[in-house]
Homo-oligomer: A and B are copies of this chain.
Amino acid sequence: MTIETVSKARACGGTQGVYTHASSATGTPMTFSVYVPPHDEGETLPVVWYLSGLTCTHANVTDKGDYRRACAELGLILVAPDTSPRGDGVADDPAYDMGQGAGFYVDATQAPWTPHFRMWTYVTEELPALVGAHFPADMTRQSIMGHSMGGHGALTIGLTFADRFRAMSAFAPIVAPGQVPWGEKALGGYLGDDPAAWRAHDAVALIEDGARVPALLVDQGDADQFLADQLQPQRLADACRAAGIDLTLRLQPGYDHSYYFIATFMPDHLRWHAERLR
């Protein structure tokens, strides 16, 4: 369980680091970033997981930022994993929405995606153990958020491990991958043709099947080019209403699917998480 430091820089009084390690989950080198805010010696801090969307690596959110100032003020560690295994020996697809950069936070059961595409195990088991071992993290206080495919990851992981995460939120998430083109392609490719196997990786299906959390925060731009075809937040609203989950779904006028949208509402989300991580 060793990690190698790729880079480290002072930022907003804390430290923004980028790290690599040999992942046993994916069988590849994996890169992730961790922001550690200013803190007292020996102090441990709550951990926010940020899962990125299609085409991203750890670097998109790390470079585009707009979370460090809020994390510094609120005393939050933020961890940003990659979105898939990568490298020459790893299967890929010419499309942007399958293969490298598009791991969908599942453990693939289908060729050619086995054995490397195991992002579920990576994000829920291996990387938490590394973070707990190498950073001043209070692993009893975790929360999770993400964007688009990463919003899907945050919701499905948060719903599955409801005892682990005190808060979860998403920016423009894919809420029902089993019912939209991105998800049908990815879940079909990684998990096989039987939609029954997809339900554990579909936030709306998980809620329909009994998963419960006290509250969810979702922001969605109403000028998002993927809103109608791929995102369909109304499906989450309907499922939460039927299940008695307190969903705050905010349709943000004029915002698109870009990081400008994420950055705008990132401090709101971090404050919402911080209140629940106290």
A227 at the A/B interface (Cβ < 8 Å)? no
Q: Mark A248-275, 1 if CB is under 8 A from B, else 0.
A: 0000101110111101100100000000
Which range holds the interface residue count of chain A?
20 to 34
Docked Cα-Cα span, A261 to B68, in Å, equals: 11
A223 at the A/B interface (Cβ < 8 Å)? yes
Asked if B64 and A261 make an inter-chain contact with CB atoms under 8 angstroms apart, the answer reads no
> For window 196-226 of chain A, which residues contact chain B by CB distance below 8 Å?
221, 223
Copies in the complex: 2
Q: Which residue of B lies closest to A265 (CB)?
A: B12
Least Cβ distance of A99 to chain B in Å? 25
Asked if A254 and B66 make an inter-chain contact with CB atoms under 8 angstroms apart, the answer reads no
Partner of A263, one of B11, B223, B252: B11
Docked Cα-Cα span, A260 to B67, in Å, equals: 12
Asked if B64 and A63 make an inter-chain contact with CB atoms under 8 angstroms apart, the answer reads yes
Asked if A9 and B65 make an inter-chain contact with CB atoms under 8 angstroms apart, the answer reads no
B contact residues around A69 at 8 Å (CB): 66, 263-264, 267
A10 at the A/B interface (Cβ < 8 Å)? yes
Partner of A260, one of B16, B254, B260, B263: B16
A13 at the A/B interface (Cβ < 8 Å)? yes
B contact residues around A260 at 8 Å (CB): 9-12, 16, 65, 68
Closest 10 CB pairs of A and B: A11-B260, A10-B254, A9-B260, A10-B255, A12-B264, A9-B258, A9-B256, A65-B66, A16-B260, A66-B66
